[in-house]
Amino acid sequence: MNKHECIAAVAEKTGLKKNETEKTLEAFFDTIETSLKQGEPVCFVGFGNFERVEHKAKTGRNPRTGQALQISAKKCPKFKPGKSLREACQA
Protein backbone atom coordinates (compact mmCIF):
# COMPACT_ATOMS: atom_id res chain seq x y z
CA MET A 1 0.00 0.00 0.00
CA ASN A 2 1.35 3.41 -0.91
CA LYS A 3 0.43 6.83 0.45
CA HIS A 4 -2.39 7.49 -2.05
CA GLU A 5 -3.94 4.07 -1.43
CA CYS A 6 -3.76 4.68 2.32
CA ILE A 7 -5.48 8.05 1.95
CA ALA A 8 -8.25 6.48 -0.14
CA ALA A 9 -8.76 3.62 2.35
CA VAL A 10 -8.89 5.93 5.38
CA ALA A 11 -11.24 8.33 3.58
CA GLU A 12 -13.56 5.45 2.74
CA LYS A 13 -13.57 4.09 6.31
CA THR A 14 -14.10 7.48 7.96
CA GLY A 15 -16.40 9.08 5.41
CA LEU A 16 -14.09 12.09 5.11
CA LYS A 17 -13.13 13.68 1.82
CA LYS A 18 -9.78 12.61 0.38
CA ASN A 19 -8.26 16.09 0.69
CA GLU A 20 -9.27 16.27 4.38
CA THR A 21 -7.82 12.82 4.96
CA GLU A 22 -4.60 13.77 3.19
CA LYS A 23 -4.20 16.87 5.40
CA THR A 24 -4.83 14.77 8.50
CA LEU A 25 -2.28 12.13 7.53
CA GLU A 26 0.29 14.80 6.62
CA ALA A 27 -0.20 16.40 10.04
CA PHE A 28 0.14 12.97 11.66
CA PHE A 29 3.42 12.23 9.85
CA ASP A 30 4.75 15.72 10.56
CA THR A 31 4.00 15.30 14.26
CA ILE A 32 5.87 11.99 14.41
CA GLU A 33 8.80 13.49 12.48
CA THR A 34 8.98 16.52 14.80
CA SER A 35 8.96 14.33 17.90
CA LEU A 36 11.72 12.10 16.53
CA LYS A 37 13.82 15.14 15.56
CA GLN A 38 13.58 16.28 19.19
CA GLY A 39 14.66 12.83 20.39
CA GLU A 40 11.25 11.96 21.84
CA PRO A 41 9.88 8.45 21.24
CA VAL A 42 6.37 8.10 19.79
CA CYS A 43 4.38 5.24 21.35
CA PHE A 44 1.09 3.77 20.15
CA VAL A 45 0.01 1.05 22.59
CA GLY A 46 -0.67 -2.18 20.70
CA PHE A 47 0.58 -0.79 17.39
CA GLY A 48 4.23 -0.01 18.07
CA ASN A 49 6.90 2.53 18.95
CA PHE A 50 8.93 4.91 16.83
CA GLU A 51 12.26 6.08 18.21
CA ARG A 52 15.46 7.73 17.05
CA VAL A 53 18.60 5.63 17.38
CA GLU A 54 22.17 6.80 16.99
CA HIS A 55 24.67 4.76 15.01
CA LYS A 56 28.28 5.35 15.99
CA ALA A 57 30.98 6.22 13.49
CA LYS A 58 32.78 3.16 12.18
CA THR A 59 35.36 2.03 9.69
CA GLY A 60 33.99 0.35 6.58
CA ARG A 61 35.58 -1.19 3.54
CA ASN A 62 35.00 -0.54 -0.15
CA PRO A 63 34.04 -3.99 -1.51
CA ARG A 64 35.48 -3.24 -4.94
CA THR A 65 38.91 -1.93 -3.90
CA GLY A 66 39.22 -3.19 -0.34
CA GLN A 67 40.19 0.32 0.76
CA ALA A 68 39.21 1.26 4.33
CA LEU A 69 36.95 4.28 4.71
CA GLN A 70 35.35 6.12 7.60
CA ILE A 71 31.55 5.94 7.92
CA SER A 72 30.24 8.89 9.92
CA ALA A 73 27.85 8.67 12.86
CA LYS A 74 24.18 9.18 12.06
CA LYS A 75 20.74 9.21 13.64
CA CYS A 76 18.04 7.00 12.14
CA PRO A 77 14.38 6.31 12.88
CA LYS A 78 13.48 2.87 14.20
CA PHE A 79 10.08 1.19 14.48
CA LYS A 80 9.34 -1.64 16.88
CA PRO A 81 5.94 -3.27 16.34
CA GLY A 82 3.66 -3.81 19.32
CA LYS A 83 2.21 -7.13 20.41
CA SER A 84 -1.19 -6.63 18.73
CA LEU A 85 0.41 -5.74 15.40
CA ARG A 86 2.81 -8.71 15.57
CA GLU A 87 -0.09 -11.06 16.34
CA ALA A 88 -2.23 -9.59 13.53
CA CYS A 89 0.58 -10.25 11.04
CA GLN A 90 0.75 -13.90 12.13
CA ALA A 91 -2.97 -14.49 11.49
Domain ranges of the chain: 1-40, 41-91
Supply the pTM of this predicted model.
Answer: 0.78
Residues making up the chain, counted from first to last: 91
H/E element holding 58?
A: strand 58-61
Query: How large a percentage of the chain has pLDDT more than 90?
Result: 98
The C-alpha atoms of residue 52 and residue 70 are separated, in whole angstroms, by 22
Task: Please give the CATH topology (third level) of the domain spanning 41-91.
Answer: HU Protein; Chain A (4.10.520)
Phi and psi angles of residue 52, each rounded to the nearest 5 degrees, phi first = -100, 125
- Could you count the other beta carbons within 10 Å of the beta carbon of residue 7? 20
- Could you count the other beta carbons within 10 Å of the beta carbon of residue 21? 20
- For 20-63, how does the pLDDT look when each residue is reduced to its tens digit (9 = 90+)? 999 999 999 999 999 999 999 999 998 999 999 999 999 999 99
